Amino acid sequence: MNGESLNARGLSRRQFLRTTAAVAALSTLPACSLVSASRQNGQWEYHLSAEPSQAELVPEHQTDVLAFNGETPAPTIRCRQGEPVTIHFTNNLNEPTTIHWHGLRIPIEMDGVPFLSQAPIQPGETFTYRFTPPDAGTFWYHPHMNSVVQLGKGLVGAIVVEEATPVVFDEEHTLTLKHWHLDRQGNWKDLAIPRYSARMGTPGEWGTVNGIHHPEYTLQEKATTRLRLANVDNTLTYPIQVRGAEAWIIAIDGNPIATPRRLETHKIAPGMRLDIGLIAPNAGETVEIMHMKGDFPFLLASFTATPSTLTEKPLPTLPLNPVAKPDLENAETRHFVFEWAGAITPADKQGKGKHEFWLMNKRAWEGMSKGNIPEPIAKLERGKTYIFDLKNVTQYHHPIHLHGHTFTVLEMDGKPVTPFHTDTVLLGKNGHAKAAFVADNPGRWMYHCHVIEHMKTGLMGFVEVT
Same domain, 233 and 293: yes
In this predicted structure, what is the pLDDT of residue 387? 98
In this predicted structure, what is the pLDDT of residue 343? 55
The band of 185, judged by pLDDT with boundaries at 50, 70 and 90, is very high
In this predicted structure, what is the pLDDT of residue 92? 98
Q: Is the pLDDT of residue 30 over 50?
A: no
CATH no. for residue 205? 2.60.40.420
Whether 219 maps to a domain, the answer reads yes
In this predicted structure, what is the pLDDT of residue 296? 80
Same domain, 278 and 343: no
In this predicted structure, what is the pLDDT of residue 351? 61
Q: Is the peptide bond before 30 cis (omega within 30 degrees of 0)?
A: no
Q: How far apart are CA 138 and CA 167, in angstroms?
A: 13
Q: How many degrees, rounded to 5, is the angle at CA 171 between CA 165 and CA 173?
A: 95
User: What is the average pLDDT across 196-225?
Assistant: 96
The band of 348, judged by pLDDT with boundaries at 50, 70 and 90, is low
Same domain, 135 and 272: no
User: What is the average pLDDT across 296-311?
Assistant: 96
Element (H, E) at 451: none
Percent residues over pLDDT 70 in the chain: 89
Same domain, 39 and 64: yes
Same domain, 295 and 413: no
Same domain, 107 and 206: no
pLDDT digit string, tens, across residues 371-400: 899 999 999 999 999 999 999 999 999 999
Q: How far apart are CA 314 and CA 250, in angstroms?
A: 13
In this predicted structure, what is the pLDDT of residue 302? 98
DSSP three-state, residue 131: strand
Q: How high does pLDDT run on average in the chain?
A: 90
The band of 344, judged by pLDDT with boundaries at 50, 70 and 90, is low
Domain of 91 in residue numbering reads as 13-163
pLDDT digit string, tens, across residues 40-95: 777 899 999 999 999 999 999 999 999 999 999 999 999 999 999 999 999 999 99
Same domain, 181 and 143: no
In this predicted structure, what is the pLDDT of residue 117? 96
Please count the structural domains in the chain.
Answer: 3
User: What is the average pLDDT across 316-340?
Assistant: 97
Q: Is the pLDDT of residue 19 over 60?
A: no
In this predicted structure, what is the pLDDT of residue 223? 98
User: What is the average pLDDT across 250-267?
Assistant: 97
Q: How far apart are CA 83 and CA 164, in angstroms?
A: 8
Q: Is the pLDDT of residue 355 over 70?
A: no
Whether 2 maps to a domain, the answer reads no
pLDDT digit string, tens, across residues 418-451: 999 999 999 999 999 999 999 999 999 999 999 9
Same domain, 40 and 82: yes
Same domain, 37 and 59: yes
Contact 440, 462 (CB under 8 A): no
Same domain, 90 and 129: yes
